Structures are given as structure tokens and as C-alpha cells.
Amino acid sequence: MTTYEKRQDVPEQEKWDLTDLYASEDDWQKDLDDVLAYARELKAFDGHINDGATLFAYLKKQEEMAYKLQHVFAYTMFLSDIDTRDAHAQQLSAKASQAGVKVSEATAFFMPFLLSLDEDTLQQYIREEERLGYFEDSLWKSFRYKPYVLAKEQEELLSKLGETLGAPADTYNMLNNADIQFGLVTDEDGNEVPMTRGMYSKRIEDEDREVRREAYKAYYKPYVELNNTIATNLAAEIKTNTTLAKIRGHDSARSQSLFGDNIPVNVYDHLLAAAKANIQPLHDYTTIRKEKLGVEELRQYDLNVPLVPDMKVDITYDEAYDTMLEALAPLGDDYINVLREFRDKRYIDVRETAGKKSGAYNMGVYGVHPFVLLNYHDDLSSQFTLVHEMGHAMHSYYSNKHQPQITANYRIFVAEVASTVNEVLLIQHLLKKNADQPDMRKYLLNHFIEQFKGTFFTQVMFADFEKQTHERAEAEEPLDANSLNELYESLFRAYHGPELVFDDEVKYGWSRIPHFYRAFYVYQYATGFVSAIDIAMRILDGDQETVDNYLAFLRSGSEDFPLELLKKTGVDLTTPGPVENAMKMFSDTVAEFKQV
């Protein structure tokens, strides 16, 4: 495996060229100074927007500021991420953050001002200033919130309570990340040592069942001990959500959360109903897992150990990139040619080195290009990560190229579609390429099943938990440790099937999920995943219309609401069809895995 001790040892071709953003730090400083000047100028509009021309002047200046602010933030983030120990990079990052705070303070007046207008006045402004046509769609999308905005004095009061209302999430983050102490486990020398999250992720996949059991017990120990405290905290978060929704006049906390993307609640309901109606293949997989592990009783700490040993295949970065180009060929020559240029033009920071941020991400910088961070390790897992992130990068590239700044950013609801389409195309390509390699084929099938389980079924189970807990709060039913434990355990049983024998810790699983403090978010992982599978399988069937529509989708940014953009690809999430199509693919994959 290719490794480098120091960043200077990494070939230039495998490192970002940040001069694409700024040729020098002096240039960065100039933009930072401009952002601060913009903040002062924008603040001066407060109380002085009374016609179309002034409204346009504010919006135009705000967009110019946002362009430079994104560049300023991106540059400091990239510098920090390539070496998190770099004190100078941290200083620049702090300056960028301070500028962001000043901008937020300077522009905080605008949304309350806009929503204080009546519809006729806004229409008059747009008629008298034709240049507002560029901003018109954005203005009306913001104006949708008007029925749910309170009187100025009430809004100011809620604003002052903002920090207090966010206390449950802040408390949980501090508790979960700083204060929790896991139990003890036995190290390789027979000594008892404290469990860490990093240790847990490895030990829960260990072939030795006793190692897994010990890690599981140690990991859940603090969540069991703090059950009442965390339950009280989550209940406060849920009650805050439901109370704010009621105050603003929404039907429910869920409808308030879905309002921004214009998602009907029946999309959420279709997702849950279709998953439950097609749960049997997941239960079958649980049975297969029990059989392949050869255990008398399947327990939760048996659910993460790989059923197929990791394929120790050395895949160089260039080999992985070339394979990706082959796998994604059905997307057409333009897609492949652009993707090939990403490697040549140094849009990707490839190698892990001391101090570099872990994981992987893509960030599309408008007016420049996407920047992709990897920690490539010459293995299959890294190959899939490469393909995943390049899906995001191509989405950013096409949206930024074809959309004006105001609609270039795509919504979270559709963000995972492009990355998952790429992964499905890759895995189908590799399955075909390794048709005569049974061990590799078995590994790939298991990889896809586990991805499906984690990205779809687990997220739907979480979404089900969120729905039911908020409905109980809205019905003024008690939310305490016992009720939360019982609900989570019943959902875990329903989703995983009768073969699983429960340890007491299972029911505490809800208490370790930070996403529950960002309510009604996780369902988007599942909707994005099934949408991508639906699109990818039609592409692999040779449907050129789907290819054309999918590429148009990648170019669309946020020019329409997410459901409408997906409908243009042939995916209608207001119906059960896309979920059921994905369920069929999952069922077929599980059946094939059982036979290999």
C-alpha cells in the first residue's frame, strides 16, 4: 500500500492546487477585507428598503458578498484540513468565522423585513424594478413562510430565546462528545483499558465473538447509566420542536420540518409504509447472518462483523480512477471527460498524511471548481469512497456551470442521489467484471447489502422513531426513559426480525443517536438512496432518456423544489413505486448472496 509520512512527500499531482482559489494569502486578505466592508454596507440598508431599486441593490450586494465569503471560508477550511495542526491556518479560519458572524448580524434584519411586507407591495417592487426578475423566484420561496411568521415583537422574543431553545442539542453534544466515559475492555496484553469510539468501530467487527460482546457492553454502559438524563433531554428537544410548530401555526413539527423543501408528509409516510411492507428480505438476511456465523443465538453485537473476509486487494489510486471511468461510462462522454480532468487538474487531495482531516468530502466552490478530500488507502473501501465523492463533485460541477449563483447549490434532499448512482454503477460493473471470481463477487454482494441496510433500513427505523415520538408529544403523552426505551426496542424488533435475541442494551440504542437533535433529517438518506437505485438501474438497462434526464438533473442545482427535480428523472416519491423498486433489488441481492 502506498503511504507517505509527510505531505511534502506526496506527488504534486495528488495534492490540491489552492492557487486556483487564491494566488497568495494577500489576495485572500483582500477578499476578507471586502467581506467586512460589504457587511457594513448591508447593515446600512436596515430600515431603508422602500422600493424595488433599493431592494435590488441590497440583494445584489448580498450576493456579491456571499460569493467572496464562500471563497474566504473555503480557503481556510482547506488549509486547516490538510494539516489540522497548522496554527496559522487555524488563525485564518478564526478570522473567516468572525467575518461570518459580522455578516450574519448585518443581514439579520432582512428576512423579518421581507415577511413584514404584504404580497401587493412585494409584487409592486418586482414590477417597478425589472432587474429583480433574477431574484424573484427566491423572494417568493422565502415569502412562503409568511403565514408562519409571528408579530415582530413575538419574533424578537423567540430570537432572544434562540440559545435557550437550542440547549438540549448543545447539552447532548457536550455529554456525548466530552463527558461520556465508556466501560473497560481487555487489550492485547490482557490489561483492562477504557473503551474509545475508535476502538469500538474496530472491535464490533472482530471475528472473536467475545471481543465483540465485551466491546458492545462497554460501549453501551454510559448510555444505560445516563438513561433518565438523556431521556429528559431528548424529551425537551421534542417538546421544543412541537411547541414551536404549534406557535407558528404548522400542523405538526414534522410538517414544519418538511415545509422548507416543499415535501408533503405523505412522502414520509410512503417511505415508512413501503419499508414495512417489504421488510421480509431484511429478516431473511438476518437469518442468513445467523447461519453463516454459526451461532445458536444471534445478538446485536453480531450484526456488524463482516460475513465475507475483507478482500485484501491492492488497488492503486490510478487503477481505482480508471476503473471508475469504466464503470461510469454509461453516463456519456462529456461526464467521463470532465471526470478525467478532475484528476489531471488537481481537484482532489488524495493521500492521508500526519495531521490531515480524516474521512472524505466534496465542496463545490462557485466560480472555481469542486474540491475533493480523500484519505486513499489502496483498497476496495477507498475505491468506493472515491466513486461516492466524485458523484458529489460532478453534481457540484454541473450545477455550478449551468446555474446562476442564486440556484447553484443543491438541497440536502437530493445530495446523496449523485453519489449513490455512482456507487451502484461501480458495484454492478465490478460484479460483472468478477463474474468468475466467487470470493470477490460474494464480498461485493455483502458490501451492497450492508450499505442498503445502513443507508435505507436503519435510517427509516430512525425516521419512524422520530415520527412516533413527536406524535406522542403532540398528543401530550408522556415521553420518559421507559416509553422511549419500549418504542425503540419494538421498532428494532420489527425491522430486524424474530431471529435476533435481545440483550438489555438494545432498547437504549436511541440515546446514542445525535441526529435525533436534528429532527426529520435522516429520512432524506433513505429517499436519496432509493431514488439513486431507481435511476441507476434504468441507466444500466440502456435507457438513454434516463441518462439525459439524469444529466439534466445534475445541472439543475436548486432551480426547483427537490421532488420536482426528481420527477424529471422518472422518480416520483409521492408514490410507493421508487421504494418498491429498490426493495426488489435488495430482495434479489439477498437471494443471490444466499446462494453464493
Catalytic residue among 14, 237, 389, 474: 389
Q: Are 499 and 286 in contact (CB under 8 A)?
A: yes
Q: CA 162 → CA 98, 107, 111, 157, 286, distances in Å?
A: 20, 17, 16, 9, 44
What's at 69, amino acid-wise? L
Three-class SS state of 576: coil
To which residue does cell 415577511 refer? Answer: 115
Q: Give the total residue count for the chain.
A: 596
What's at 566, amino acid-wise? L
* Helix 265-277 / helix 458-474 crossing angle, nearest 10 deg: 130
Edge-to-edge strand ranges of the sheet holding 348-351: 348-351, 370-376, 361-364
- What one-character DSSP code corresponds to residue 118? -
Known catalytic membership, residue 389: yes
The string of DSSP codes covering 225-247 is HTHHHHHHHHHHHHHHHHHHHHH
Q: Are 247 and 439 in contact (CB under 8 A)?
A: no
Q: How many CB atoms lie within 10 A of CB 215?
A: 24
Q: Are 312 and 440 in contact (CB under 8 A)?
A: no
Q: In 3D, which of 229, 231, 282 has the Cα closest to residue 459? A: 282
Q: In 3D, which of 23, 176, 43 has the Cα closest to residue 105? A: 43
Q: How many CB atoms lie within 10 A of CB 534?
A: 27
Q: In 3D, which of 441, 207, 382, 383 has the Cα closest to residue 307? A: 207
Q: CA 5 → CA 2, 210, 313, 374, distances in Å?
A: 10, 35, 22, 16
Q: Beta strands 192-194 and 348-351: pairing type?
A: unpaired
- Give 349's strand partners: 373
Q: Beta strands 348-351 and 370-376: pairing type?
A: parallel
The Cα 531–Cα 581 span in angstroms is: 9
Q: Rg (Cα) of the chain, in Å, rounded? A: 25
- What one-character DSSP code corresponds to residue 357? P
Q: How many CB atoms lie within 10 A of CB 362?
A: 24
What's at 504, amino acid-wise? D
The C-alpha angle 198, 203, 204, rounded to 5 degrees, equals: 105
The string of DSSP codes covering 87-106 is HHHHHHHHHHHHHHHHHHHH
Q: In 3D, which of 490, 482, 479 has the Cα closest to residue 516? A: 479
Question: Which residues are known to be catalytic?
Answer: 389
